[in-house]
Amino acid sequence: MIIICPQCGPRELSEYTYVGDATVARPDHNDVDMEKWVDYVFMRKNPRGSHTEHWQHTAGCRAFLKVDRDTVTHEITDVVLEGPWQMKDK
């Protein structure tokens, strides 16, 4: 699988680390409802088809990316740089 890093260009999957499901909303920091935190930390869906995920380019620029990927075909339809970082000049 090839992921196109917005900063480095196309790179092999081995350069990336899967960080997690990008569709899960973190509870408020001050929320003391343990059930919400257990759901956030441990409960995940296993979607078939289009899914949004967080990845980090650990063997490259170390940027965090939001990747839209089909879990069946592994086709990547979108990659977005996450966070306040600026693109480096090419």
Q: Which domain holds residue 15?
A: 2-81
The model carries a pTM of: 0.81
Residue 90 belongs to a domain: no
- Separation of alpha carbons 3 and 10, rounded Å: 6
Q: Given a cut of 80, is residue 89 above it in pLDDT?
A: no
Q: Is residue 38 domain-resident?
A: yes
- Confirm whether 48 is domain-assigned: yes
Tell me the per-residue pLDDT of 36-67, one tens digit each, with 9 for 90 and over: 999 988 988 888 999 999 999 999 999 999 99
Give the total number of structural domains in the chain.
1
CATH number at residue 41: 3.30.2270.10
Q: What is the pLDDT of residue 88?
A: 54
What is the pLDDT at residue 22?
92
CA–CA distance, 75 with 69 (Å, rounded to integer):
6
